[in-house]
Amino acid sequence: MSELPLTEATILETMRHSCIFPFALPHSTTSDTEIGGHFVKNKTLVVVIFWSVSHDPEYLTEPDVFNPKRILNDTCTKAELFLPFGVGMGRCPGEILAKIAFLDFSSVDGETPIVDSKYGLTLKPMNFNVLVSKRQ
Ligand code: HEM
């Protein structure tokens, strides 16, 4: 077994590469508002496309390349492009629980995890082996 301890930051970066939910649950505005300089009427359906936000070539160099150090190297400014748990009042209430999950994941010697996904309502990982152990 090769040692590949996944810190919270690398777990988050892995999700940035292949977010589980490519888009948020549908939300609605509760008043006339402005988003990114665009006027949005009250009671408008709003859906954030996480995949697009986290793969924007305008802000990220080689957005499709798996680079676990991307966020770590850049004083977290790119973390704003990374919204696996959603954003605002409707964001995931399980975020803290998910981040403190009591499991460690390690790669298997000689195997490279496949970081592509099958597309659907959620992004499903391709089949590959991974070692899971209880966190010490
Ligand atoms: C890696 C783990 C997880 C990821 C990536 C994740 C991601 C998300 C995302 C993207 C949403 C939609 C947010 C939005 O529409 O803006 C969501 C909603 C939600 N998540 Fe999670 N989640 C995770 C784990 C969990 C866990 C562990 C729980 C509960 C223990 C949980 C409970 C919920 C609930 C109840 C909602 C619906 C919230 C609402 O609509 O008010 N999630 N999650």
In this structure, what token pair is assigned to residue 108? 């298997």
- Kindly state whether residue 2 falls inside one of the protein's structural domains: no
Domain of 83, in residue numbers: 8-134
- Kindly state whether residue 3 falls inside one of the protein's structural domains: no
Q: How many Cβ atoms sit within 10 Å of the Cβ of residue 87?
A: 14
At 77-103, the pLDDT tens digits run: 555 667 778 877 888 898 888 877 777
- Kindly state whether residue 64 falls inside one of the protein's structural domains: yes
Ligand 1 mutation pick, 82, 85, 105, max ligand atoms within 8 A of CB: 85
- Kindly state whether residue 70 falls inside one of the protein's structural domains: yes
Cα-to-centroid distance, 111 and ligand 1 (Å): 30
Q: How many domains does the chain have?
A: 1
- Kindly state whether residue 27 falls inside one of the protein's structural domains: yes
- Kindly state whether residue 1 falls inside one of the protein's structural domains: no
At 121-133, the pLDDT tens digits run: 888 878 888 888 8
In this structure, what token pair is assigned to residue 109? 């010697």
3-state secondary structure of 89: helix
pTM > 0.80: no
In this structure, what token pair is assigned to residue 1? 């077994």
- Kindly state whether residue 38 falls inside one of the protein's structural domains: yes
Instruction: Judge contact between 108 and 131, C-beta under 8 A.
Output: yes
ipTM of the assembly?
A: 0.96
- Kindly state whether residue 109 falls inside one of the protein's structural domains: yes
